[in-house]
Copies of this chain bind each other. A is one copy, B any other.
Amino acid sequence: MSDSRPQSSQQLFTEISSEGQLSVSCKTVAIPQPKPNEVIVKIEAAPINPSDMWPMFGPADLREASFDDENLILKAPVHKSMLMRIKSRLDQALPIGNEGAGTVVAAGDSPQAQALIGKTVGVLTGAVYTEYACVPIQACMLHNEGTTAKQAASSFVNPLTALSMVETMKREGHSALVHTAAASSLGIMLNKICLAEGIDIVNIVRKQEQVDMLSSLGAKHVLNSSAESFKMDLFNAINETGATLAFDAIGGGDVVSDILTAMEAVGSQDAVGFNTYGSEANKQVYIYGGLDFAPTVLNRAYGMTWNIGGWLLMRFLGSLDIKEVLALHKRVADEIDSTFASNFSKEISLKQALEIENVAEYMAKKTGEKYLINPSL
């Protein structure tokens, strides 16, 4: 263990008080002595993902936010009626930032930890909006020589989600899949994986420019849900691909039901007799996001062999053994600049991440726009 390790770190924390006030602040914390299987990573790049935003700001009214430049605290009110829903987190200063990347600057005594010194690693800890992070080596993804922290910033959430969706498809016996909100970074990765593996994917997007963008990457089936012909297009694409599985990032509205309805229409098109319970294949939709908070509305016009459920990356990864996880890590590391390349629209410091005008911009979650925090700035 080197004695030259850094002693303290600037780190972002979020807290909502039971009086209804959000405070997101930048504090100085001590860096612990790493245990044998831990390393200290100097974080140089950490994306602000959609999945970071709810922990960071909760249901606060950001239109009323103010930033105290001297004490580095963003404050915003939370309506009292929301507090019951988030009671598990009240009055606790909680670290934030799901994933990031940087250089290992110190390590615990184990040979595995020592071997990482000087390497670029991606980390998944839920506390990476910090200058220095102390993380177990199991939460590190080792990158190849030459990969930069910025390239490695999004090593986990999107790449492993895309790979895990394809893996879920294979394990559950489906042969093609449908993806909504498909023009996202994740959607682009998913298309690259499917193209490379010869898997048919039906992409659903909302705008013609997103159709054009995915088509230019080689995607065969890209449907515009705003088009009048959408339901017929969906039937045709599912008929051509045989997809019986969908991953939905939207959640609200009719899209889940529309997908199942099309799958049933395809599955039952040659049925004879009563067909009371519909087609036999399991028609599965996993909801993995909630871009639309409106209720999900199911017309149930798809027989009796269908399932809808929440899908969570960490739960899927938990079902894998360590060898399978490491194989996924290796694939991400090897293809971090191609299949799993991420684009960031702006790089900001920890302090800038609390500035009102930046918050307003990254909270807009525009497709193709993503902020990167660089705590070393």
Contact = CB atoms under 8 A, between A and B. Distances in A.
Interface of A: 51, 54-55, 85, 88-89, 92, 94, 251-252, 257, 268, 271-277, 287-288, 290, 295-301, 303-312, 314-315
B295 A298 contact: yes
Nearest to A14: B274
A297 B300 contact: no
Nearest to A305: B310
Contacts of A304: 288, 310-312, 315
Given A94-B273, A297-B297, A312-B277, A88 B268 contact: yes
A307 B305 contact: no
Contacts of A275: 88-89
B88 A274 contact: yes
A128 to B, nearest CB: 15
A300 B287 contact: yes
B310 A303 contact: yes
Nearest to A296: B298
**Closest A-B pairs by Cβ, 9 of them:** A304-B310, A307-B309, A88-B271, A296-B298, A88-B275, A304-B312, A55-B274, A295-B297, A308-B308
Query: Which among A89, A94, A288, A300 has the highest number of chain B CB atoms within 10 Å?
Result: A300
A69 to B, nearest CB: 27
20 contacts: A54-B274, A88-B268, A88-B272, A251-B300, A277-B310, A288-B304, A290-B300, A295-B297, A295-B299, A296-B298, A297-B297, A298-B308, A304-B310, A304-B311, A305-B312, A305-B315, A306-B310, A307-B307, A307-B308, A308-B308
Contact of A295 (B85, B88, B300): B300
